[in-house]
Each structure stands twice: as structure tokens, then as C-alpha cells.
Amino acid sequence: MFENLQEKLSRVFKNLSGRGKITEKNVKDAIREVKLSLLEADVNYKVVKEFVDHVLQKALGEEVLRSLTPDQQFIKIVRDELVRIMGEKNEPLRLVHRPAPIMMVGLQGSGKTTTCAKLAKLLKKEGRNPLLVAADLYRPAAVDQLVKLGNQIGVNVVHDYNKTPVEIVKEAVDVAESTGKDILIVDTAGRLHIDEEMMKELEEIKKILNPDEILLVVDAMMGQDAVNTAKVFDERLDLTGFVVTKMDGDARGGVILSIKYVTGKPVKFIGTSEKIDGLEPFHPDRIANRILGMGDVLSLIEKV
Amino acid sequence: MGLFDFLKKGLQKTKETFFGRVVKLLKGKKLDDETREELEELLIQADVGVETTEYILERLEEKDGDALESLKEIILEILNFDTKLNVPPEPPFVIMVVGVNGTGKTTSCGKLAKMFVDEGKSVVLAAADTFRAAAIEQLKIWGERVGATVISHSEGADPAAVAFDAVAHALARNKDVVIIDTAGRLHTKKNLMEELRKVHRVVKKKIPDAPHETLLVIDATTGQNGLVQAKIFKEAVNVTGIILTKLDGTAKGGITLAIARELGIPIKFIGVGEKAEDLRPFDPEAFVEVLISE
Ligand SMILES: Nc1nc2c(ncn2[C@@H]2O[C@H](COP(=O)(O)OP(=O)(O)OP(=O)(O)O)[C@@H](O)[C@H]2O)c(=O)[nH]1
Ligand SMILES: Nc1nc2c(ncn2[C@@H]2O[C@H](COP(=O)(O)OP(=O)(O)OP(=O)(O)O)[C@@H](O)[C@H]2O)c(=O)[nH]1
Ligand SMILES: [Mg+2]
Ligand SMILES: [Mg+2]
């Protein structure tokens, strides 16, 4: 369905090789291919616009125009720009308090509950002693889901159907302190960013927890609206980062670029399976090719 | 409140601002460069996708007359399907619900059950998601909530066996409707897609024409990947319609326009909330308004 960007670009530049100089028009055609490619990857329209403007300025510099391999030189500019926006390296969790509270928030069905359990497992493997908290009391069987996942990985889950989310979080803080847990992972109900009452609930939970990490869980298949969601959640809660789930599919994941661009907050983990061990630290430099819809061009670029 | 009123009420504010501007720009005019770009932006931001957006804009340029009316016509043409459900002459009416993870399948099963129960029908829900933690419990709660029988096995059981039992149960007890909830699966996972085909096959063993409807649940926030999802699910289990969920958020579900145009799959229902009554039959005209609002 998607033609390789690299092929398109070589086509754009090849048309003129042999006929001498590369012109501004060639560069603009190339920019257009990048623009389309990013839109097909679901990078937000406004982000794409600003991004390509930036690339255009750089590409019109001497380098590309003079280069013998303009397509590669051009891809390098695009790629460097992507990496610049997304950051070079993985940003780890910053856990300072004891117990260190982590809040998982997001839209309905994005993967919060699963990610809570995955993260608990990951931290346990690192020798930490996490406690899970079932603060979604709305979605049918959400508590059961977390309890089952907790059992699978041998992590306790604080839950009580007769309490409100805020009450259960208060209780969990006490439980963690009295049982010597060093991390508190709180699963919250899915909610729309425009649901005022539900967003207030998160602010209340935040006040009680004073969390070290507030992670917005975002579905990799999400389209243009991701920036609205990310912006509003960030404005209300001052997020510390994102988890992008369902990266095991074939979504290009343009959402990663968009949310980082509009909030400046890093993606810390990606979900790579519905199984409990499918969570990995996110390495931004490795994702540029996927967003651009290119194979491994790293080696190609290294030759430039 | 009908769907149209419901959506209109929600859109009142936006209609006065951006949509209003587009209306002013387009009404009684042909498309000029400025409006073309503004419209392009609007459609892309609604997840309609580059190709279908270009298609719409080109069609618009060909048309004479009021650009706004033309735009509506073009979109309605794309969505012009028979959205009636394929109800068999003899019950049970078997519906299978499929889709990628977390789109709203189980919830939509509950909502569909409620719709049929309200029509005085007897409904069987099949808990054929035996993989996701507490998926069975979730469906059982929906069954209780709306008054439908839930047929389930234990976690990890064969989904096809659950579907088979549910259909057998409906046949034996003269139930009107069977709704099969399946596990979320990414279309790229070959073994899971094969598992889904098996559910399909096993149901056919009991009733050759079944499932009479195979509904693909697409989350309105889905971007361009939705098109690939629809394509592969259609190839695997012959999807007959789409349930577009979470339209109560700010996403527009524009990818379903690309799906309708390129794959010919109609939208049959939309989800507008988490409650049992938050499912509506699809109304193309109301959808056009959603799509071109900001
Ligand atoms: N393939 C895949 N599936 C995932 C991933 N993360 C979560 N899921 C699946 O996505 C679906 C939704 O996950 P949940 O954890 O229930 O999502 P949630 O955000 O807690 O949902 P609500 O509580 O209803 O808002 C489930 O089927 C999960 O198995 C992932 O990284 N890859
Ligand atoms: N706002 C809103 N939320 C919805 C809608 N439909 C479903 N949801 C929510 O989306 C989340 C996921 O719904 P489920 O029905 O569990 O999704 P699913 O497709 O069965 O998920 P898996 O079985 O894990 O793949 C839940 O929190 C639902 O309450 C809708 O139309 N609007
Ligand atoms: Mg959850
Ligand atoms: Mg489900």
C-alpha cells in the first residue's frame, strides 16, 4: 500500500542526474514526497507543515544542491531533523520517592491496564518491589483484569469495589508504606480528554499521590487527533512522558513524532505484544525509518 | 434525542466557528485555491487520508454550483450503501464482532444486545475472547446489565468451541440473536487471524449462512492503519459492516471514508459513549457534519 519513500526520492532526484544541476524545484518535489509520507504515517498535519518547512530551509543549503548523491544527502537531513525532535536516547523513569508513585492515564482502550502489569513485571525483574492499584472502578471487570494480571506476575493488587478511585489510591499509599513496597503503579479508568468530571478525578488522584511519573498511554494506530489528546492531558496533569502501545502491528507510528513535538515530553516505553512481557524502553533514534516508511537506511546514510 | 440532534447539539459551538467559516467559504461558490487548501487540511485532520482527500477535492473541482452542497453530495456518494442488517428469515441471527485490540468490541456486543433486547428479542452473547484477562467477566457483566444469556468456557479455551456452543444453544432454545465477542487481534498476526477464520468456519457448520453479519469495530481515533485493518479482516472473515466507536471524543473517524471508498465496507453503527444505550444506527448526513467540523 505504501511505496517506499526512499524509492520515491531516488526517482525525484534521478530524473535530473545526467542532466546536470539539481534545482530548487527538485528539492521541493522531494519535500512533497516526505510530506505525503509523514501524513500517511499519521503525523499531525500541522506538525508536518512545520517539519517540512524546516527541512526545506536546510535542504536548500549548498549540501544537497552540490551533492553527487542528493537523495541520500536529503534523506540524511530529514532523518537528522526527526531525531533532533524526538531526542537521541532513551529517557528512563525518574523514580525518586519511596514508594515511588506512577500514574497510568489515557483514552479508553489504549492499553493502560496491560501496561501497568507489564511495567510492574519489568520493575520486579530489576529487583524492585512494586504494588499495583486498581483505580478503575467504572469499566466492567477492569478490577478483575488487573487482579488476574497481578496474579500472573506475582504482584499484589490493591482493590476494593466499595471505594471510589480517590479512596482506593489513599488506601494504597498506606498499604505500600506499611508493607515496604518501593513503587506504586496506579491503573486509572479510560477517559476522554474532554470529559471534565473525569479529568478532575485525575487531578485529585494526582494531588494525593504526588507521582514521580505520570504516563499517558497512547495507541500507535492513533491518527491526527492524538495531538489534541496529548496536549489536554499534558496541560491538566503535566505529564512526565508517554507509553506508545501496539507497536507490534504495522502502524507507522507517526503519533510518536506528533506527541513529542507538541508537548516536548518523551516517549519512555513502547508496547510490543499483548503478552505481559511486551514492554520495551523506547529508543527514538531507531524509529525514524519506520515513521518515514523506509527500510534500514542507516547503513546507506553512513556511507554519505 | 435522535442521533442527528444529538450530534448537532454537540457541534453547535464548532459550527459557529470553523465549520461556519468553511460554510461561508464554500457556499454558493466554486473551489478556489485558498478554500481548497483549507478543506484539504480539514479532511486530512479528520483522518480521511491523503488519497481520499485528493479524490474528494478533484471531484469537487469538476462540479459546478454550490461547493458546499457538492461536497456533501460527494461524501454521501462514498457512503451510499445499504446499511440494513442482513437478518435471516429464520432465527437465530448470528453476528460476529471483530477488530484490533481495545477498539470497543466487547462494549459494542453489550450495546447491540441491548438494542435487540429492547426490540423484544432474546439474545445470546458468546464469550469467544478467551485470551484477554477478565474478558469473559466483562461480557458477563454486560449480559446481566442488558438481559442477555452469556455462553462461556474457561479462560484459554478454544474460541471456536465457545461460538459453536452459543449457536447450538440458540438453535436449541429458539433464541433470536447470537452475538459473538472475539479477542482483539492485530491484523498482522497470522496465527490469530487464522484462529478467527476457524471461529467463522465452525459457526458455518451449524448454520451455513452464518455469521449473517461480521462487524469490524474501528475506533474513531484510528489513523491510516485503519485501512489496512479493514482490508485484512475483510479478506479473512468477509467483514459486512463497520461499527465506528468513540465518536463522542474529538476524533472524526474519517478513515472510514477511505475504507468505504476503497473497500466498499459500509458503516452500520456508531458508538457515542460507554453506556448500553450509546449505540446508534449510522446516519450518513449526520456523519458529514461531524467530519467537516473542527
Ligand atoms: N498487540 C498489542 N496489544 C496490546 C498492547 N498493549 C495493550 N494491548 C491490548 O489492548 C487491549 C486494551 O488493553 P487494556 O490494557 O485493557 O486497555 P485500557 O487502556 O486499560 O482500557 P480501558 O481500561 O478500557 O480504558 C487489550 O486487548 C490488550 O491486550 C500492545 O502493546 N500490543
Ligand atoms: N467514549 C467511548 N468509549 C467507548 C466506546 N466504546 C467502547 N468504549 C470504551 O473503550 C474501552 C475498550 O472497550 P472494550 O469493549 O473493552 O474493547 P475491546 O475491543 O473489547 O477490547 P479488547 O477485547 O481488549 O480488544 C472501554 O473502556 C470502553 O468503555 C464509545 O463509543 N465511546
Ligand atoms: Mg483498563
Ligand atoms: Mg473485548
Average pLDDT over residues A35-62: 90
Edge-to-edge strand ranges of the sheet holding A241-245: A157-158, A130-135, A183-188, A100-105, A213-219, A241-245, A267-271, A279-281
Residues 6+ apart with CB under 8 A from A226: A42, A44, A218, A255, A258, A259, B221
Contact across the interface for B137 and A140, Cβ inside 8 Å: yes
Which amino acid, one-letter code, is at A11?
R
Identify the DSSP state of B65.
Answer: S
Ligand 2 centroid from CA B183, angstroms: 12
- Given a contact cutoff of 8 angstroms between Cβ atoms, the answer to whether A246 and A235 are in contact is no
- Given a contact cutoff of 8 angstroms between Cβ atoms, the answer to whether B283 and B4 are in contact is yes
What is the percent of chain A where pLDDT is above 90?
Answer: 69
Closest CA to B114 of B152, B142, B85: B142
**What is the per-residue pLDDT for B65?**
80
CA angle B281, B284, B286 (to 5 degrees): 90
Q: Cα(B103)–Cα(B88) distance, rounded to whole angstroms?
A: 27
Which residues in chain B belong to E strands, given as ranges?
A: 93-98, 123-128, 149-151, 177-182, 213-219, 241-245, 267-271, 279-281
Average pLDDT over residues A146-164: 97
Query: What are the cell numbers at B224?
Result: 491510516
Average pLDDT over residues A282-286: 87
Picking from A1, A144, A274, the nearest residue to B134 by CB comes out as A144
Residue predicted with more confidence, A114 or A58: A114
Average pLDDT over residues B39-61: 94
Query: What are the cell numbers at A21?
Result: 544541476
Is the pLDDT assigned to residue A21 strictly greater than 70? no
B224-238 exposure pattern, b = at least 16 Cβ within 10 A, e = fewer? bbbbbbbbbbbebbe
Q: What is the DSSP string of A94-115?
A: ---SSSEEEEEE-STTSSHHHH
Lookup result for grid cell 510490543: A272
The pLDDT tens digits of the residues spanning B132-153 come to 999 999 999 999 999 999 999 9
**Residue-level length of chain A:** 304
Q: Is A29 on the interface with B (CB under 8 A)?
A: no
**What is the per-residue pLDDT for A67?**
73
Q: For residue B126, what are the β-bridge partners?
A: B151, B180
**What is the per-residue pLDDT for A1?**
35
**What is the per-residue pLDDT for A2?**
42
Size of interface A-B (CB pairs under 8 A): 136
Is the pLDDT assigned to residue A296 strictly greater than 70? no
**What is the per-residue pLDDT for A303?**
47
In A151-180, the residues whose Cβ lies within 8 Å of chain B are 152
Given CA atoms A203, A262, B226, B271 in this order, what sign does their dihedral have? positive
What is the overall mean pLDDT for chain A? Answer: 90
Q: Cα(A227)–Cα(A242) distance, rounded to whole angstroms?
A: 12
Lookup result for grid cell 487471524: B193
Q: Mapping DSSP to helix (H, G, I), strand (E, B) and coil, where does residue B220 land?
A: coil
The pLDDT tens digits of the residues spanning B198-220 come to 999 999 999 999 999 999 999 99
In A204-223, the residues whose Cβ lies within 8 Å of chain B are 219, 221-223
Is the pLDDT assigned to residue B184 strictly greater than 90? yes
Give residues (CB < 6 A) around ligand 2: A 108-109, 139, 190, 192; B 99, 101-107, 129, 132, 135, 183-184, 217, 245-246, 248, 271-274, 278
What is the percent of chain B where pLDDT is above 70?
Answer: 90
Confidence of residue A15 (pLDDT cuts 50, 70, 90): low
Contact across the interface for B133 and A148, Cβ inside 8 Å: yes
Confidence of residue A29 (pLDDT cuts 50, 70, 90): confident
Picking from A42, A219, A224, the nearest residue to B102 by CB comes out as A219
Which amino acid, one-letter code, is at B210?
A
Q: How many CB atoms lie within 10 A of CB B70?
A: 20
Is the pLDDT assigned to residue B20 strictly greater than 70? no
Distance from CA of A15 to the nearest CA of B (A): 24
Q: Which atom of ligand 1 is nearest to the CA of A278?
A: 31
Q: Which residues are in the CB-under-5-Å shell of ion ligand 3?
A: A 112-113, 142
Would you give the end-to-end CA distance of chain B in angstroms? Answer: 23
Read off the pTM.
Answer: 0.94
Angle in degrees, 0-180, between the axes of helices A45-59 and A70-86, rounded to the nearest 10: 130
Residues of B in contact with A41 (CB under 8 A): 224
Picking from B50, B142, B145, the nearest residue to A39 by CB comes out as B50
Return binding residues of B: 99-106, 181-185, 245-248
Angle in degrees, 0-180, between the axes of helices B33-45 and B50-62, rounded to the nearest 10: 150
Contact across the interface for B47 and A249, Cβ inside 8 Å: no
Average pLDDT over residues B91-118: 98
The pLDDT tens digits of the residues spanning B235-250 come to 999 999 999 999 999 9
The pLDDT tens digits of the residues spanning A169-194 come to 999 999 999 999 999 999 999 999 99
> Assign residue A238 a region: left if phi > 0, alpha if psi is -120 to 50, beta otherwise?
left
Q: Cα(B100)–Cα(B98) distance, rounded to whole angstroms?
A: 7
CA angle A131, A132, A138 (to 5 degrees): 155
Q: How many CB atoms lie within 10 A of CB B189?
A: 16
Contact across the interface for B225 and A149, Cβ inside 8 Å: no
Q: What is the DSSP string of A237-277?
A: H---EEEEE-TTSS---HHHHHHHHHH-PPEEEEE--SSTT
Q: Cα(B151)–Cα(B109) distance, rounded to whole angstroms?
A: 13
Q: Cα(A141)–Cα(A289) distance, rounded to whole angstroms?
A: 39
**What is the per-residue pLDDT for A162?**
94
- Given a contact cutoff of 8 angstroms between Cβ atoms, the answer to whether B248 and A247 are in contact is no
Is the pLDDT assigned to residue A146 strictly greater than 90? yes
Contact across the interface for B221 and A223, Cβ inside 8 Å: yes
Residue predicted with more confidence, A5 or A44: A44
Q: Which helix (H) or strand (E) holds A183?
A: strand A183-188
Ligand 4 centroid from CA B138, angstroms: 8
**What is the per-residue pLDDT for A299?**
45
Confidence of residue B116 (pLDDT cuts 50, 70, 90): very high
Q: What is the DSSP string of B173-185?
A: TT-SEEEEEE---
The pLDDT tens digits of the residues spanning B2-12 come to 555 555 555 55
Q: β-pairing, B279-281 with B267-271?
A: antiparallel
Q: Mapping DSSP to helix (H, G, I), strand (E, B) and coil, where does residue A131 land?
A: strand
Ligand 1 centroid from CA B255, angstroms: 21
Q: Cα(B80)–Cα(B69) distance, rounded to whole angstroms?
A: 16
Is the pLDDT assigned to residue B172 strictly greater than 80? yes
What is the overall mean pLDDT for chain B? Answer: 91
Contact across the interface for A45 and B226, Cβ inside 8 Å: no
